[in-house]
Amino acid sequence: MILKLSPDYDYLGHARLAAEHGVSALTAINTVKGLRLDPETGEPLLKNGFGGLSGRAIKPIGLRVVKELRDAGVTLPIIATGGIRTFDDCREYFWAGADAVSLGSASWFASYPGYALSPLHAARIRGLLRRIEGYQPPARPAR
Count of Cβ atoms closer than 10 Å to residue 103 Cβ: 17
**Residue 54 maps to a domain:** yes
Provide the number of structural domains found in the chain. 1
At residue 9, the pLDDT reads 92
**Residue 141 maps to a domain:** no
8-state DSSP, 34: E
Query: What is the extent of the structural domain holding 122?
Result: 2-134
**Residue 126 maps to a domain:** yes
**Residue 100 maps to a domain:** yes
What residues pair up with 34 in beta bridges, in sequence order?
A: 51
**Residue 143 maps to a domain:** no
At residue 121, the pLDDT reads 74
SS (H, E, C) 67-102: HHHHHCCCCCCEEECCCCCCHHHHHHHHHHCCCEEC
Mean pLDDT value of segment 42-69: 93
Q: What is the CATH number of the domain that holds 107?
A: 3.20.20.70
Q: CA nearest 57: which of 39, 33, 37, 21?
A: 33
Is 78 in contact with 66 (CB distance < 8 Å)?
Answer: yes
pLDDT at 44 over 70: yes
More confident residue, 65 or 108: 65
**Residue 139 maps to a domain:** no
Q: Of 11-25, 45-59, 128-142, which gets the smallest average pLDDT?
A: 128-142
The C-alpha atoms of residue 18 and residue 75 are separated, in whole angstroms, by: 11
pLDDT at 106 over 80: no
